[in-house]
Amino acid sequence: MLRNYSNSRTLGDNIRLGTLTAFTAGTINIASLLIFLSFTSNVTGHYAIFAAEISQGNWSQVAVVGGWIFLFFFGGFVANMSVINLNRKSKYFAHSLPIFLEILCLLAVGIYGQFFYEKTLQETEALVALMLFATGLQNGLTASISNFSVKTTHLTGTTTDLGILASMFTQKKFRKNPELIARAKLLMSIMAAYVLGAIFSGLTYYSLEFRVFYVISVCLLVVIGYDFYKINLRHFQTEYRYYRIFHKPTLIAYLYYKIHNKEDKRTTSHSRTTNTKLAFSED
C-alpha cells in the first residue's frame, strides 16, 4: 500500500490504501462532530466560517479558524516533504512517517480527551486543530504517493468524479475502457469505506467515547504493518533464493527449512553419500 509510488502503483495498491484510510477518515469526522461539533476531515466548511467571521469582524475567531485551515494545509505540506525528500533512502519509511505522525496526533487526542478534557473552548479548539493536522497528513500522503488518484478525507471530489464517470458509462465505448472501470472501482470503494467508517463511529462513540481514537490508530497501524510484513517477506524470499542459487547457507534459509519442516536436499544427499557403504566393503 505504501511502498509503491506514483505510476508504479497498481489498482489493488490504491484500493487497499483508499479503503483503509477512507474508513479512518469517516470515523474521525463523525467522532469530531459528536465530540466537538466540528468537522475535521476537510476544511470546506471552515473556509465559509472563516469568511463569515471576517465579515462580522470577529478577529479572534478569524485567527482560530485560519489556524485550523493552515494546519490542514501544513499536514499536506509535511506529508509530501517526507515523500519527496526521504524517498531515496527508503520509500517505505518516507511513506509511513506521515501515517506514524497521524497516529501520534490521534493518540494524543484520545488520551487527553479520556483523562484530562474539561470541555473548555480553548481545549476544544486545540484538539480540533490537532485532528485537522492529522487528516491533512493523511490526505497529503495518499494524494502524493498515488499521483493524486487517492484522496480519502472528503468525498466532494469523489462524488463529482463518480457523477462524471456515470455519465460516460452511458456510452458503450466508455463502458469497455479498463482505465475508467478501474477508476470507478477505486472511487466507489473509497466512498463505501468512508460511509462505513462514519457509521461505525456513530454506533460506537457512545460506548467508546474518546477510546474510538485508539481504534482508528489500530486501523492506521494495519496500513503501516501490511507493507512492513510484505517487505520483510520479500526479503525472506530473496535470501532463500540467494541461498539456493549460490549454495551459501544463511540464517534465513535455515529458518525456512525449520518453519516448513523440510530438509536441505544438498545436505541430506551429502550425508547419504558419506554414510552409504558398498555391499562388499569391510566394517
Q: What is the CATH number of the domain that holds 37?
A: 1.20.1250
CA dist 211 and 233 (Å) reads 33
User: Is residue 62 included in any domain, yes or no?
Assistant: yes
Q: Specify the DSSP class assigned to residue 11.
A: H
Evaluate whether residue 73 is within a structural domain: yes
280: cell is 562388499
Residue found by looking up cell 466507489 in the block = 188
**Domain assignment present for 1:** no
Residues 27 and 141 in one domain: yes
Whole-angstrom distance, CA of residue 13 vs CA of residue 16: 5
pLDDT at 224: 86
So what's the pLDDT on residue 150? Answer: 83
- Residue 157's pLDDT is 87
CB atoms inside a 10 Å sphere around CB 55 = 9
DSSP 41: S
What pLDDT, on a 0 to 100 scale, did the predictor assign at position 249? 56
Q: Clarify whether residues 263 and 124 are in a common domain.
A: no
- N- to C-terminal Cα separation, the chain: 63
Domain limits for position 196? 6-228
Angle formed by the axes of helices 156-168 and 178-208, nearest 10°: 150
Q: Are residues 11 and 143 in the same domain?
A: yes
Structurally, how many domains does the chain consist of? Answer: 2
φ, ψ (nearest 5 deg) of residue 154: -150, 160
- Residue 281 located in a structural domain: no
Both 79 and 203 in a single domain? yes
Q: Are 1 and 175 in contact (CB under 8 A)?
A: no
The residue assigned the cell 520479500 is: 234
Residues 39 and 145 in one domain: yes
How distant, in Å, are the alpha carbons of 37, 143, 150 from that of 211?
Answer: 18, 28, 28
181 and 75, same structural domain?
yes
Asked if the structure places residue 235 within a domain, the reply is no
CB-neighbour burial class of residue 195 (10 A; exposed 0-12, middle 13-18, buried 19+): middle
Residue 130 lies inside a defined structural domain of this protein: yes
Co-location of 177 and 260 in the same domain:
no
Cα-based distances in Å from 4 to 59, 70, 113: 44, 29, 36
pTM, entire model: 0.78
**Could you give the C-alpha distances from 68 to 38, 99, 108, 131, 218, in angstroms and in order?**
11, 19, 17, 9, 25
- The reply to whether 254 and 179 lie within a common domain is no
CB neighbours of 66 closer than 8 A, spacing ≥ 6? 50
> What are the per-10-residue average pLDDT scores of the chain (283 residues)?
64 86 93 91 91 94 95 95 84 86 95 93 94 94 84 87 93 90 93 94 89 92 78 54 55 61 48 41 41
Is residue 43 a part of any domain in this protein? yes
Shared domain for 203 and 248, answered yes or no, is: no
208 inside domain: yes
Judge if 173 and 245 occupy the same domain.
no
Residues 28 and 151 in one domain: yes
Say whether both 184 and 205 belong to one domain: yes
| Residue 182 to residue 180: CA distance in whole angstroms | 5
